[in-house]
């Protein structure tokens, strides 16, 4: 698992450096004034990767999220529809691999996932540099898999996820963006060793997962609007 996390982190870091180098090669003033046809009525696919980490309590009598999982890497897929040039609605799914926390054996695999619905608002859809903000909500899961014995599964809600990005639009249909975000989550049930199935978590607490990475966006079958 540590090799998987390291691979995630290296790939996302190289992607961020590549995106920054591409932007640095352009004149910032000319980019801010450049216009590219906006896209509407398009199938929008986003693919991202980056660094992620969670923090906060889980529930009464349980280890904190930081005790169970450390830094990790995350990959994400988004599929949506650009209703108008400014607004996209769709679905998202993410998969994460974390380093094991201090309360776990180093050999424990710690995996996470999330999925839900999202909306993104693009402020300058006809500009080469297009800042946007996204809001999502859905489901979140976390799994602890030791070398032997029963896995621990935590299930809950991604109450609200906020993402902020800056699209560099290479063409009307293709953009690359540095992205940062945070999600407010709450685990409400668990299946752990010594239990016969999922049980409610007493006094569930809100916790936060942070993300920083890069995302590519592709608009397909849409219309160009000037």
CATH number of the domain where residue 65 is located: 2.40.160.20
What is the extent of the structural domain holding 97? 2-225
Helix (H) or strand (E) holding 194: none
3-state secondary structure of 193: coil
Q: List the structure tokens of 178.
A: 């540095």
Q: What is the pLDDT of residue 101?
A: 87
Number of structural domains found in the chain? 1
Q: What is the pLDDT of residue 192?
A: 84
User: What string of DSSP letters covers 85-153?
Assistant: TTEEEEEEEEEEEEEE-TTS-TT-EEEEEEEEEEEEEES-TTBSEEEEEEEEEEEEEEEEE-SSS--EE
For 181, phi then psi, to 5°, come to -165, 170
- Burial (CB < 10 A; 0-12, 13-18, 19+), residue 170, is middle
Q: What is the pLDDT of residue 19?
A: 44
Q: Which 8-state DSSP code applies to residue 35?
A: B
Q: How far apart are CA 194 and CA 30, in angstroms?
A: 63
CB 159 within 8 A of CB 206: yes
Q: How far apart are CA 86 and CA 179, in angstroms?
A: 18
Q: What is the pLDDT of residue 205?
A: 94
Q: How far apart are CA 84 and CA 40, in angstroms?
A: 5
Q: What is the pLDDT of residue 15?
A: 46
3-state secondary structure of 216: strand
Q: How far apart are CA 109 and CA 150, in angstroms?
A: 12
Tens digits of pLDDT across the chain (226 residues): 444 444 444 444 444 444 444 444 444 444 545 788 999 999 999 999 999 999 999 987 788 898 999 999 999 999 999 999 999 999 999 999 999 888 888 889 999 999 999 999 999 999 999 999 999 999 999 999 998 888 999 999 999 999 999 999 999 999 999 999 999 999 999 998 888 889 999 999 999 999 999 999 999 998 988 7
Q: What is the pLDDT of residue 106?
A: 84
């Amino acid at each position: 698992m540590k090799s998987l996390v390291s691979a995630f982190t290296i790939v996302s870091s190289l992607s961020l450096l590549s995106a920054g180098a591409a932007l640095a090669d352009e004149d910032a003033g000319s980019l801010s004034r450049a216009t590219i046809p906006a896209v509407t009525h398009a199938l929008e696919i986003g693919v991202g990767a980056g660094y992620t980490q969670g923090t906060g309590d889980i529930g009464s009598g349980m280890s904190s999220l930081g005790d169970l999982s450390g830094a990790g890497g995350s990959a994400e897929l988004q599929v949506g529809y650009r209703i108008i040039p400014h607004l996209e609605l769709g679905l998202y799914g993410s998969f994460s691999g974390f380093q094991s926390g201090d309360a776990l054996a180093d050999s424990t695999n710690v995996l996470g996932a999330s999925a839900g619905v999202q909306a993104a608002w693009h402020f300058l859809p006809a500009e080469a540099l297009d800042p946007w903000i996204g809001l999502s909500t859905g489901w979140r899961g976390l799994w602890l898999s030791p070398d032997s014995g029963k896995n621990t599964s935590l299930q809950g809600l991604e109450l609200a996820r906020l993402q902020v990005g800056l699209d560099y639009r290479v063409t009307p249909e293709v953009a690359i963006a540095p992205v940062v975000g945070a999600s407010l989550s709450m685990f409400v049930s668990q299946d752990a060793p010594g239990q016969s199935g999922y049980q409610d978590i007493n006094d569930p607490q809100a916790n936060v997962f942070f993300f920083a990475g890069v995302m590519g966006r592709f608009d397909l079958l849409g219309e160009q609007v000037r």
